[in-house]
Each structure stands twice: as structure tokens, then as C-alpha cells.
């Protein structure tokens, strides 16, 4: 490493080699800038120094396309978009809950993954030379959300991966954590959300049935062995536009939404933390896969016994809508409505907007919030208040099409709108027919 320094600026140059190709990293930073030390976003290239990977034949790549360790990641996946120090706690590993243990980590965000380093930046780079690997998180198919209820600390958000790993990230400095949330969310949004996501494909074929060690790949093999005329066609529910799902079903409320709600109302109204507690992500992904493959689903089956899996799948359905339940074109109008000081005027403004929504959005909204009022009615047992459900569903159901620096303010309005829809449900939806 070559390093030159003057009174104001330091330049670090790192030469690293992979498969005979040189990559040069340069960073210019202001030595007096505290913020730059906390969070740096200059582009650079990370490579595994000294590691040479044997070429993979085309036949082998086709045969093992889901085995990620055998695939050399494209160079653009290694471009660093942001790096800096944050507080990190891993709270689940492969769906198994872990004890929350906060620690300071140097975090490196690239276009499709996050790497966590226990040491300082200089030590991390040194360890990379010796072959030490940081903890790496594939963002393809991952989900990010604010997690106020997961910690007494402020400014906490959670990242959940398709493999069932869950991480909490936190900073006491508002603009830093907002910047990180925005950067990671943008990275996730740019990645595929359907079956074209390599990590999701890998996990789908590794998911275990809840009552045995049988792999989901066995289920897929059963389908392949059927005669063509007996195979079920792809029934894409997750990741499709709401109006397209409804058009295929000739309805205004997706059958999957109704099925989940029916299951929760049958056996989940009294469950502590319903909709707040996370279900096993691997099982949720299995449910998602089956829903997209089959036309019928029995949520009373023992493998969906954990009601948090059902609620997790319902939340995932809404999160994966290409356009949220509250359409982008209505977002600012709902925000302006919730800002009104007079409560009666506020309710009337929101009601007027709801009536202008496309039928699938309006009717699905009515069914969902009507269901959530039943959750609130059992708050003494499930401990889920209107405010708690607002925090859970606000960012899931409505968001701006282009996030800006007002993310924190938007989050407050998102929660308040969801709360109003619940607390004033009869006034907003009461005059409409089922």
C-alpha cells in the first residue's frame, strides 16, 4: 500500500490482483471531517486478493446454476456504494432466533450484498489479504423495514434475507441512519424480486418442511414427474400488480389475501404480537413458492401451523406489490389529508381519496383494515394497538415512488394514515357496500 499525506488530505492506494487483473482502489478523504469517518460513500472495488478461481465449464454452469459458490460474481456486484460504522445486531440465523447482541461494525454496501467487518477498516483490509472473509449478506430477495419495536434504541431498521437471517442496524445520528436505509433500500429495489433472483432460487430448493427434513426440491420433482396435462400452470401472485391478480381471478380482492385473513381470524386474534412478530422466513418463502405454483392452498395444513408464517406471507404479498396498495399517484394527497388539523376534515379528506381509488385497491384496503380492526379489538390479549399496527403496516402499504431526504417525515405520516384508517374505519368505509 502506498500512502501520501498532507495537512488536510490523505490518499490511500490499494493494489490488489485477481485472476491476473489488477484493481486499484483510491480514496480521498478529509482528515478533519467527522462525518466522513462515520460514513463514506466513494466508489471502490473490492477483490479477494490472491484468490484464483478455476474456470467453470458451460455445461457445469448450466447444471449447477443455483450453486452460488461456484459462480464468479460479475465485477459490478463488487462495486462499493457505501461504507461506514454502524451498530449491528444479528437476531436470527437461518430462521433460528438469536440473542440480541449489539456491536460496532464497519459495513460495506455493494450493489448486491453487505459485508460486516468486526475490525476497523485498516484491519479489515489487512485480513482480506490473508484470506479472512467478512460476514456477507446477499441482498437479492431481502427485505428492509424500520424496526422501532425491536429495540429500545432509536433509529433502528431491520434487514431480513431469504435465507432467514435477520440483522438490526442502528445509529444515534439521524441523517446517517436515514442515508444508510435509503442506500440499502435502493440496492434491494434494483435487484430482482422473483424467481430470477439466484439466492431466492437457491433457498427455495433448500427450504425444509416444518415437520420433517424433506426438502422443497422433492415437491418440485413431483411436479416435474407429472404428465404435462396434469401439471399446474404458474399462478404468479407474489410480485404481480394488484389489478392483474384481481383480473385473473375475476375479483377485486385477491383470494390469497382473503385466505390469510380467514386463517388469522380463525386462530390468531388472541396471539401475542400478531403481525409484529416475525415468522420463520424459510417457511414463509416456501409458502410463497407454493402459492405462485398452485391454484389452491390449504392454510389449515399442519405445515402452516405457526400463524406468524401466515401473517408474514400476507405482509410479504403487500411489500412485493410493484405499486403499493396506496397507489403512488395518491401518496402526496394522503399525506396532505393527514396533515389537516381538524379531525372531521381529515377524515372526510381521507374518505374522499379512498372512494377515488381503483376498485381492487379500495376493496382490498377495506377488507384488510376491516380485519385489522378485529386485531385491535383483541388488543388486551394480543397487545397490538392501533399505533402498533400503524407502525407495522404504514410503510408496507404506502410509500413515495421516489424516496427523498424526507424519509423520516414520510414514515411518521405513513404510520398516522394507517392509524386513522383503523381508528376511523366505520366513518371512512362504513357507507360503502361489501
Nearest to 146 by CA among 340, 412, 345: 412
The whole-number pLDDT of residue 403 equals 64
Residue among 126, 90, 119 nearest 105 (CA): 119
**Contact yes or no for 306/262 (Cβ under 8 A):** no
Q: How far apart are CA 329 and CA 335, in angstroms?
A: 12
3 state DSSP class of 378: coil
| Residues β-bridged to residue 108 | 83, 115
DSSP code string of 23-59: EEEEEEEETT-HHHHHEE----B---TT--PPP--HH
The fold for domain 242-429 equals Phosphatidylinositol 3-kinase; Chain A (1.10.555)
CA 61, CA 42: separation in Å to the nearest integer?
A: 34
User: What is the predicted pLDDT for the residue at 399?
Assistant: 86
- In the chain, ranges of CATH 2.30.29.30 domains: 80-190
Under a CB-based contact definition with an 8 Å cutoff, are residues 124 and 106 in contact?
A: yes
The pLDDT of residue 297 is 87
Question: In sequence order, which residues have a C-beta less than 8 Å from that of residue 225 and are 6 or more positions away?
Answer: none
DSSP letter string, 259-325:
HHHHHHHHHTTTSTTTTTSPPPHHHHHHHHHHHHH-S---TTSGGG-SHHHHHHHHHHHHHT-SS-S
The dotted CATH code for 80-190 is 2.30.29.30
Q: pLDDT tens for residues 57-86?
A: 444 444 444 434 333 344 444 567 888 889
The CA distance from 138 to 69, in Å, is 12
Smallest Cα–Cα separation from 376: which of 414, 337, 420? 420
* Residues of the chain scoring pLDDT < 50: 1-77, 201-233, 432-434
Q: In the chain, where does the domain assigned CATH 1.10.555.10 lie?
A: 242-429
Q: Burial, 15: exposed, middle or buried (Cβ in 10 Å; 0-12, 13-18, 19+)?
A: exposed
Per residue in 133-181, pLDDT (tens digit) is: 788 889 998 999 988 888 889 889 999 998 889 999 999 888 788 889 8
Kindly give the pairing relationship between strand 143-146 and strand 156-160.
antiparallel
Amino acid at each position: 500500500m502506498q500512502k501520501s499525506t498532507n495537512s488536510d488530505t490523505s490518499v490511500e492506494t490499494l493494489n490488489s490482483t485477481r485472476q491476473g487483473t489488477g484493481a486499484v482502489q483510491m480514496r480521498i478523504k478529509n482528515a478533519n471531517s467527522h462525518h466522513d469517518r462515520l460514513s463514506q460513500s466513494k466508489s471502490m472495488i473490492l477483490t479477494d486478493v490472491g484468490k484464483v478461481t478455476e474456470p467453470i465449464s458451460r455445461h457445469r454452469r448450466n447444471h449447477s446454476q443455483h450453486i452460488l459458490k461456484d459462480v464468479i460474481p460479475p465485477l459490478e456486484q463488487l462495486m462499493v456504494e457505501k461504507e461506514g460504522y454502524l451498530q449491528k445486531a444479528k437476531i436470527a440465523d437461518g430462521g433460528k432466533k438469536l440473542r440480541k447482541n449489539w456491536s460496532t461494525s464497519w459495513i460495506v454496501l455493494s450493489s448486491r450484498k453487505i459485508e460486516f467487518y468486526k475490525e476497523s477498516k485498516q484491519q479489515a483490509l489487512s485480513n482480506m489479504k490473508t484470506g479472512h472473509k467478512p460476514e456477507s449478506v446477499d441482498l437479492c430477495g431481502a427485505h428492509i423495514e424500520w424496526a422501532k419495536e425491536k429495540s429500545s434504541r432509536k433509529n433502528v431498521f431491520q434487514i431480513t434475507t431469504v435465507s432467514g437471517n435477520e440483522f438490526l442496524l442502528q445509529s444515534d445520528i439521524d441523517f446517517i441512519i436515514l442515508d444508510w436505509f435509503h442506500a440499502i433500500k435502493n440496492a434491494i429495489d434494483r435487484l430482482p424480486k422473483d424467481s430470477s433472483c439466484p439466492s431466492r432460487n437457491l433457498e427455495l430448493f433448500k427450504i425444509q418442511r416444518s415437520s420433517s427434513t424433506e426438502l422443497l426440491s422433492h415437491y418440485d420433482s413431483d411436479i416435474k414427474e407429472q404428465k404435462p396435462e396434469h401439471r399446474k400452470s404458474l399462478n404468479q401472485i407474489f410480485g404481480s400488480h394488484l389489478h392483474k391478480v384481481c383480473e385473473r381471478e375475476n375479483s377485486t380482492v385477491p383470494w390469497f389475501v382473503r385466505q390469510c385473513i380467514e386463517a388469522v381470524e380463525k386462530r390468531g386474534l388472541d396471539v401475542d404480537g400478531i403481525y409484529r412478530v416475525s415468522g420463520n422466513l424459510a417457511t414463509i418463502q416456501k409458502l410463497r413458492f407454493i402459492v405462485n405454483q398452485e391454484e389452491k392452498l390449504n392454510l389449515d395444513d399442519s405445515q402452516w401451523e405457526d400463524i406468524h408464517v401466515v401473517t408474514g406471507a400476507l405482509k410479504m404479498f403487500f411489500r412485493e406489490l410493484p405499486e403499493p396498495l396506496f397507489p403512488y399517484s395518491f401518496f402526496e394527497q394522503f399525506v396532505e389529508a393527514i396533515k389537516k388539523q381538524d379531525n372531521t376534515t381529515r377524515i372526510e379528506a381521507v374518505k374522499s381519496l379512498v372512494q377515488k381509488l381503483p376498485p381492487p385497491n379500495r376493496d382490498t384496503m377495506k377488507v384488510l383494515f376491516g380485519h385489522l380492526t378485529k386485531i385491535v379489538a383483541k388488543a388486551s390479549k394480543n397487545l397490538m394497538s392501533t399505533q402498533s399496527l400503524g407502525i407495522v403496516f404504514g410503510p408496507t402499504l404506502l410509500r413515495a415512488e421516489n424516496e427523498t431526504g424526507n424519509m423520516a417525515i414520510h414514515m411518521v405520516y405513513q404510520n398516522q394514515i394507517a392509524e386513522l384508517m383503523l381508528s376511523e374505519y366505520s366513518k371512512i368505509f362504513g357507507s360503502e357496500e361489501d
